[in-house]
Amino acid sequence: NAGVTQTPKFQVLKTGQSMTLQCAQDMNHEYMSWYRQDPGMGLRLIHYSVGAGITDQGEVPNGYNVSRSTTEDFPLRLLSAAPSQTSVYFCASSFRDGGLARNIQYFGAGTRLSVL
């Protein structure tokens, strides 16, 4: 199993450009999340999904869109990139154990994004 795969690993954008960060998992996990990591801020939740067709906002959703058409894929779209979106982005998946969400996050390797 590859686990959680994120592409690209690095990206440089100009202000106003759009792009999609890809995330795929092969563990058949129901839950998937996107986080951004900035110095001193920890990991902040952008969007998450509890299953195909269901998404919800996290702490910092503005400027990002997501969709979940399959269990495996959870792409993150930047509509019009801004310098404030320079960050490291992590995708994670987690599983449900019986009736409870165990919430244990399996992270991808991350995408390092710079917006100039």
Query: Among 12, 79, 109, 116, which residue interacts with another protein (rule: CB under 8 A)?
Result: 109
Q: Take residue 42 and report the two structure tokens written for it.
A: 């920890």
Query: Among 27, 63, 73, 106, which residue interacts with another protein (rule: CB under 8 A)?
Result: 106
* Interaction of residue 66 with another protein, rule CB under 8 A: no
Angle, alpha carbons 106-104-24 (nearest 5°): 30
Q: Contact region for another protein (CB under 8 A) — 8-16, 18-26, 32-40, 61-69?
A: 32-40
Q: What does DSSP assign to residue 110?
A: -
CA distances from 91 to 14, 19, 49, 58, 99 (A): 23, 16, 11, 13, 24
First and final CA of the chain: distance in angstroms? Answer: 36
Name the amino acid, one letter, at 37: Q
Minimum CB distance to another protein smaller for 13 or for 108 = 108
* Interaction of residue 9 with another protein, rule CB under 8 A: no
Query: Among 31, 34, 64, 74, which residue interacts with another protein (rule: CB under 8 A)?
Result: 31
Binding site for another protein (CB under 8 A): 30-31, 33, 35, 40-45, 48, 50, 58-59, 90, 94, 96, 99-110
